[in-house]
């Protein structure tokens, strides 16, 4: 994470997290709460997912069906920071956490154009939440590195 993002996140934490949000153009509040005043954007009927946005930083929180906060993280510019909220905050994994192996692929609970979040239930009622970057680049355009070649001037219509 670059120093600017770290400073922004540190500033947000010093002011407290509750009440910071704008999701999909609507004011949303309650980050860290069981039933925040925000739209449930979960991709699964077995989970609740809430997204809060402030100053370009997205905060994504995952709750179980009973409203228990399981974990949350902040993300901006492909950088991630696990937030210290939720019963399973120690089990939240992000692309930069250096985990030796990714969690067993769990159920997709949230996905947008750049992030996918999965939930994998564990023994003793714990849940591993894993956030992954989604490569938004078209594989053909990104991997072929084709450059357009200017076409040669046409010889049509010229007489020698």
When pLDDT is cut at 50, 70 and 90, the band that residue 83 belongs to is: very high
Give tens-digit pLDDT for 9-23.
544 443 333 333 333
Residue range(s) defining the domain that contains residue 109: 3-135
Please give the model's pTM, rounded to 2 decimal places: 0.68
Give tens-digit pLDDT for 99-138.
534 445 789 999 999 999 999 999 999 999 999 988 655 5
Q: Mapped to the 3 state alphabet, what secondary structure does the chain carry?
A: CCHHHHHHHHHHHHHCCCCCCEECCEECECCCCCCCECCCCCCCCCEEEEEEEECCEEEEEEEECCCCEEEEEEEECCEEEECCCCCCHHHEECCCCCCCCCCCCCEEEEECCCEEEEEEECHHHCEEEEEEECCCCCHHHHHHCCCCCCCCCCCCCCCC
Tell me how many domains the chain contains: 1
Q: Is residue 104 part of a domain?
A: yes
Task: Indicate if the pLDDT at residue 82 is higher than 90.
Answer: yes
Q: Is residue 155 part of a domain?
A: no
């Amino acid at each position: 994470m670059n120093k600017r993002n770290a400073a922004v996140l540190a500033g947000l934490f010093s002011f407290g997290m509750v009440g910071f949000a704008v999701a999909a153009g609507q004011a949303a509040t309650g980050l860290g709460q069981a039933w925040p005043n925000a739209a449930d954007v979960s991709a699964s009927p077995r989970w609740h997912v809430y997204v809060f946005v402030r100053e370009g930083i997205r905060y994504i929180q995952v709750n179980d069906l009973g409203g228990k906060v399981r974990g949350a993280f902040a993300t901006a510019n492909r950088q991630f920071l696990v937030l210290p909220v939720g019963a399973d905050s120690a089990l939240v994994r992000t692309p930069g956490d250096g985990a030796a192996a990714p969690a067993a692929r769990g159920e997709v609970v949230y996905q947008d154009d750049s992030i996918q979040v999965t939930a994998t239930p564990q023994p003793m009622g714990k849940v591993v939440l894993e956030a992954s970057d989604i490569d938004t680049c078209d594989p053909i355009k990104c991997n072929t590195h084709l450059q357009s070649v200017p076409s040669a001037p046409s010889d049509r219509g010229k007489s020698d």
